[in-house]
Structure 1
Amino acid sequence: DFYHLNKHYNCLLQMGGSDQWGNITTGTELVRRMNVGNDDKSKAYALTTPLITKADGSKFGKSEGGNVWLDADKTSVYKFYQFWLNATDVDAEKYIKIFTFLDKETIEKLIAEHNEAPHLRALQKRLAEEITVMVHSAADLENAIAASNAFFSPSMDELKKLDEKTFLEVFEGVPQAEISMADLNAGLDMIAALAAKTNFLASNSDARRELKQNSISLNKEKVGEDKIITKEDLINNQFLLLQKGKKNYYVIKVK
């Protein structure tokens, strides 16, 4: 590759992580050997930087799982922001020095602030803010923060403000089911919504038990067996959000 780029595009420098040192220097040697006697064409250089790794020792790169792309079509702004926000304390301290242009004094102050109250995640928040604005924009950052707040908010007010794309990004990975608008127009009871129509719960009896235990929420509000779901309950005229306990979510899309 290096030889081809050197020959056709006059590429003189190949850069990479320190783990690629052997491959890159082999490339420079090939360029020099293939251009013996041509001093101008025989010039080829290598530059490597320390390999960036995560706290668990895995590489920070596209070949590893759970990493991000700069292109919003490959990694949405919301997921991009969440990636940095969820960095470990060790990684956040390293990344903020590598990936931002904050000065040394500011970074040291942030680290000290974080060490005093790690649960507030001041380091991760600033890291996520700086990189999201740099790669995307300040407006995109605001939207990502709004989406994050909407997910953790006890009310539906913020979730209702999200567009369809952002809503689905927030609940990516959450089990989903589709039902028809006709089902809703006929009056959808909670037993059907939890079991027969969605399989969120295994059976009608499971649905009744959970409802009696007051562990089911519809759009973040506790509901009982007598609740009938109508169009008025729809989020953005197409979604219903079911929840069992605090962490088990289920999205119903109405078509």
Structure 2
Amino acid sequence: MQRTIFHLPGLSAAIDALQCDFADNVASPFGMDFHLSEAAKPKRVAILASKEDHCLLDLLWRNRRGELDLSVVMVIANHPDLADQVRPFGVPFIHVPARKEIRGEAEQRMLDLLRGNVDLVVLARYMQIVTPDFIDEVGCPLINIHHSFLPAFIGAAPYRRAKERGVKLVGATAHYVTEDLDEGPIIEQDVVRVDHRHRVDDLVRLGADVERAVLSRAVQWHCEDRVIRYGNQTVCF
């Protein structure tokens, strides 16, 4: 595996021909899989959210400051609560109610908005399970932030379960979404130390800082084409 950066004047006009030539003359003879992308062209990103604002607003803030070179084309949320907080960033906020009883209808509405319009979907504490059909049809990778140091505490209420277990570290994990809940290839992780004095709400507060940092790094690396998926693992350059 390797990642190569090169500079070519007029790449935008030449990239299709370059890709064909490389495939015919290099990749095919050597049995290589490859992907070319234009680093100067920001990835189009959609963010899915629910009611928690910290990961969503952190991504928008970093993007506005120029720390994340991407184009946030929309925020989709299954609750309307964050609309007023998103509005100052000039990003369209779309409320698509979603719950188990109407999941199919909600996902179809989101697919209509996303399909063909984005290069990446980020689940910024989107508190709904996405179905295998949605993953197959959306047409781009999905990155999720899980508020535990996977593979510990998969699923719901990880901070409460961490407190009950008496852990000394709590963390967060950014991973690609697959049909297996919280089992996708891990991109980035980090932890913060805790002890017996911390209550569950303390763990939530401390963990939120880790979630923000981990998710932003994972999104940045993906948008810079620094992540290669290898089976159920990743190589991050």
What's the TM-score bracket when you normalise by the shorter of the two chains? Answer: under 0.3
TM-score, length-normalised on structure 1? 0.22
TM-score, length-normalised on structure 2? 0.23
Structure 1 or 2: larger helix share?
A: 1
Larger radius of gyration: 1
Q: With CA pairs under 8 Å and 6+ residues apart, which has the higher RCO, 1 or 2?
A: 2
